[in-house]
Structure 1
């Protein structure tokens, strides 16, 4: 008997997706080991990160009025080199098990983007898993160039993403707030939906793309180099709840992408305007 894919109760939980999904993940970069990276957040808070080969010891010193408060932690992390002097760092905080942190560290421009993904209460408005974005600066590197900023550059593109020999999806970037995904191969084959997204440009042609799903309680942060549209490379992490709805699940992955097509709207109907 076939499964009714239109019944979202049959959709795969986040932990059911994980096995094999990370086959195309890039290797962990040890380049940050022995370094301290201090981030000046836009609200004045200061977050210090000291890296070993596989641990990040961090200290959050909250500015006046920051509801986060002072906090300290020591967590395992993964770092991926996106380009020269550009790194994507992922860790799941143990002192705040409902939070996961994504750091984009540009050691050439002295700029960073922090994305905190937060599992909210079940009856919260909007998606269950939320995301906070903060473009900030790195104390140890002189600041230059352009700060990471929201971007509409992906709107109209349709991209094929291959995560493993068994997992493939396509993304259609619709507007500043929405994208559509469809599973072309893997355990979710035949599933599709339209979900919230946020896009930041980090360097020319390199984008952070983050999404928040409304059916499965999860969200993702990815960074992708779109400069060669025939050979796009991405790195990412998914964070949310397991099948029980109780246990936070966090894992990293990677994908190879290929631009399938680009939609060009008449100017008066262009969603990128």
Structure 2
């Protein structure tokens, strides 16, 4: 994915839904960040420096992705900045210890407000808008996946081309709406400690687009690793749902 100049050279500060102040200073390829917890936020004061990638999704809407590989290696951040509406959404992906009652990978969603900008529109919020949609995604590397959104909190997928061809499953997911027909889609794989966060642009149903990252353990099962990708999509149709 190509780094985008929209955020390069800028310092962006926002206050999240915990009342905590988070700052990011974006260079050409590196982001320096710090987290100052608000009252009642148990998160410690922390700061770090990471490689990042970023893209323009729409006018004034930027998606950035980075892995805390040096400081907090079991965590990665998908950060969406909406400069037009003065809002942000941070999705923190973490890899935890195995547990019987939950996937090993988890997501935390933290809406926020960008300092120095007027706030308008609605805050990013969870949505069931994708229910019933059946989509074929083709990634830049040629991998092809079919997604079927049948019920809240989960989706079914099938790999049609690529190294995982023939595999299929049903996994947990969460969807947030950023703007009309632009979504954050976060999936948590059950069979392996792996998670994906994508920005899914459904504004043009004839030419869907997504940008995202996969975060999980490498083949040794010990080292957290992240890879980013882009994809184009085709809406195959709608199915009956249980929502």
Classify the TM-score, shorter chain.
over 0.9
Q: What CA distance in whole angstroms lies between the structure 2 residues aligned with 1:124 and 1:100?
A: 23
The one-character-per-residue Cα deviations of 1:99-155 (angstroms, maximum 9, x if unpaired) are 000101100000111100000012363101111011111113111111111111110
Give TM-score scaled by structure 1 length: 0.86
Corresponding residue to 2:189 among 210, 213, 218:
213
Q: What CA distance in whole angstroms lies between the structure 2 residues aligned with 1:105 and 1:187?
A: 33
Does 2:126 correspond to 1:150?
yes
Aligned residues: 242
Q: Is the 8 A contact 1:176 1:199 kept in 2?
A: no
Q: CA deviation at 1:58?
A: 0.7
Superposition misfits of 4+ residues, deviation over 6 angstroms: none
Does 2:93 correspond to 1:117?
yes
Match of 2:210 in 1: 234
Does 2:20 correspond to 1:49?
no
More strand by share: 2
Change (3 A) 1:143 1:247: same
Corresponding residue to 2:143 among 153, 167, 178:
167
Give TM-score scaled by structure 2 length: 0.96
CA RMSD of aligned residues (A): 1.2
Q: What CA distance in whole angstroms lies between the structure 1 residues aligned with 2:141 and 2:212?
A: 17
Match of 1:71 in 2: 46
Q: Is the 8 A contact 1:218 1:239 kept in 2?
A: yes
Q: Is the 8 A contact 1:37 1:140 kept in 2?
A: no
Deviates more, 1:59-68 or 1:143-152: 59-68
Match of 2:179 in 1: 203
Unpaired runs of 5+ residues, structure 2, are none
Corresponding residue to 1:98 among 43, 63, 74:
74
The structure whose Rg is larger is 1
Q: What CA distance in whole angstroms lies between the structure 1 residues aligned with 2:163 and 2:50?
A: 31
Q: CA deviation at 1:64?
A: 2.6
Match of 1:20 in 2: none
Q: CA deviation at 1:249?
A: 0.9
Q: CA deviation at 1:271?
A: 2.6
Unpaired runs of 5+ residues, structure 1, are 1-24
- SS of 2:131's partner is coil
